[in-house]
Amino acid sequence: MDPWSRLFTPELLIPVCAILMPLGVVVVGLNFAWKYQERKHKTIVDLLEKGLPVPRELLRSPQRNGSALMRALTLLGVGVGTCGFLGAMFRWEHGLWAAGLIPLSIGVAQLIAIRLEPPRPPEPPEPSAIDLQ
């Protein structure tokens, strides 16, 4: 058996792919974010070179869509579902169901933070563009 055929056995390929796949997803995501920022900065520079005003939307950091309550409730659901799935799949005695407590706890913490956070005053409307000349 040659050395290359040992490298392509399922016993070795499955763990290697399991380790490299999350790394690849992170690299692809960071690449997309970097390209987006690069295009955004190029647009701002082009507007300034032409002497045009830069819209405030280009200068703001991106805001999350959706409410904090919805994100917290989603994490609670994911946590309960994960606990139930892992408990039913691998028996409750093994304790693997406890992995679902992680998203469940994060969701509970977010709900507590929402409850304790003081209400924000409404933001005044801003002009749609600024002039950086």
User: For each of the chain's 133 residues, which pLDDT tens digit applies?
Assistant: 577 777 777 788 888 888 899 999 999 999 999 999 999 999 999 999 999 988 888 888 777 777 889 999 999 999 999 999 999 988 888 888 999 999 999 999 999 999 998 887 777 666 555 555 4
Distance from C-alpha of 15 to C-alpha of 24, rounded to nearest angstrom? 14
**Under the phi-then-psi rule, with left for phi > 0, alpha for psi from -120 to 50, and beta for the rest, what region is 13?**
alpha
Whole-angstrom CA distances from 58 to 28, 64, 127 are: 23, 15, 13
Phi, psi torsion values for 73, nearest 5 degrees? -65, -35
Say how far apart CA 75 and CA 110 lie, in whole Å.
Answer: 9
Total-model pTM: 0.54
pLDDT score of 110: 94
